[in-house]
Amino acid sequence: MHESLEPIYEKVVARNPGEVEFHQAVREVLDSIGVVMGKHPEYAHAKIIERTCEPERQIIFRVPWQDDRGEVHINRGFRVEFNSALGPYKGGLRFHPSVYQGIVKFLGFEQVFKNALTGLPIGGGKGGSDFDPKGRSDQEIMAFCQSFMTELHRHLGEYTDVPAGDIGVGGREIGYLFGQYKRLTNRYESGVLTGKGWAFGGSHIRTEATGYGNAFFVREMLAARDDSFSGKRTVVSGSGNVAIYTMQKVRELDGHVVACSDSEGYVLDEQGVDVELVKQIKERERGRLAEYADRRPSGKFVANRQVWEVPCEVALPSATQNEITGKEAEVLVRNGCVAVGEGANMPTTPEGVRVFREAGVAFGPGKAANAGGVATSALEMQQNASRDSWSHEFTEQRLREIMVSVHDRCYSTAEEYGLPGDYTAGANIAGFTRVAEAMLSLGLI
């Protein structure tokens, strides 16, 4: 980190004690943008960095709800509206027991620069709750979502703040949330939530977008090295929405996906992971990945082990933050990995990133590689605003174009600042400078 930025980072840590994920996200950006400050002294004068590290608004609220047995539960809800210099706050809602203020702030901070990289007019925000949807009935999830939206709705609007889904929040949850918003406001304001079902204002491929986008981004990284997915052994962590559609698109791009995982272990299938079977088990039956091996003879389930021990040429972490440490990164490099695309948010620790960089691995950071989800959310907003709907083919083509432009923006920015091939620096600098220029233009607000 440039010495002029160290005091800023220390102040962020002091003002946000215990929020280690947020500290990590801020440091990762500050490590990259020292070279920018020398070229743009006006950023320091206007204290752009300090302002981007402080959310515009943080909302914490109580979420009371009743389960099927009549027992009352109290969860905590969050929404961090981080930066609106480029447009309305945009970012998902996460329902998971690990959610607390630090997680939401880390995600919201990353979202600001990710959204800027898309080139679309959207700011950054994030939200969620420590509610755990696993094992809950549809009725219980509806009860929770309605209580959650009863408080959150007053802070939302298609020109103010537009949430989407994230871990634990899929089409079912978005439907319940939107229904309650409509009920409370008496407005059919389609653009206030994205990730909606196709029948009520949703966009084609929104479900697939993050996974598809990650595959498109990695394809561009490989192409920049005169390479491709063709025949490459690929390993994907996770088996949820992002992982499933990452695997699907990698197969279409001629990659060979041999493993995926969940919290209990991983499946290895040398014949190629059957994505439809994973989808059946995880999306429709809401079961465990261990069942895959019971239904497919070529599949082997390895319990309580990490998928990164499987030799591969392409690694696509698509589960959660900090799942690849320096140790896992060293194993991947030793086993011949040449490209990594982060489908999840910050799944690689700083030490892991260092290992990949020093080994010459093409590394796509999450704020670039997984930008396809929010990009397609913005496309859904466009369709809602114009009372229009686009075909699957047209929407996927727009997503592909956006991901190519995100890649090119990261690649060219890294070159411009003397850091060729460093996609992390390119993404951070390109995202930060776009936000900084907008903040300067808007004045001290």
Catalytic annotation, residues: 126
**210: annotated binding-site residue?**
yes
Q: Please, are residues 423 and 411 in contact by the beta-carbon 8 Å criterion? A: yes
The DSSP bridge partners found for residue 341 are 364
**90: annotated binding-site residue?**
yes
**179: annotated binding-site residue?**
no
SS3 assignment, position 341:
strand
Enclosing H/E stretch for 184: helix 171-185
Tokens of 213: 């986008």
Q: At what angle do helices 6-15 and 20-39 cross, to 10 degrees?
A: 150
Q: Distance (Å, rounded) from C-alpha 445 to C-alpha 440?
A: 10
If 0-12 CB within 10 Å is exposed, 13-18 middle and 19+ buried, where does residue 294 land? exposed
What's the distance, Cα to Cα, between the start and end of the chain in Å? 27
**386: annotated binding-site residue?**
no
Q: Distance (Å, rounded) from C-alpha 335 to C-alpha 332?
A: 5
Residues 6+ apart with CB under 8 A from 345: 106, 107, 110, 321, 366, 370
Concatenated DSSP letters of 207-236: TTHHHHHHHHHHHHHHHTTT--STT-EEEE
**241: annotated binding-site residue?**
yes
Kind of pairing between the strands at 124-129 and 72-83: antiparallel
**383: annotated binding-site residue?**
no
**11: annotated binding-site residue?**
no
Known binding-site residues for substrate equal: 90, 111, 114, 165, 377
Known binding-site residues equal: 90, 111, 114, 165, 210, 241, 377
Known binding-site residues for NAD(+) equal: 210, 241
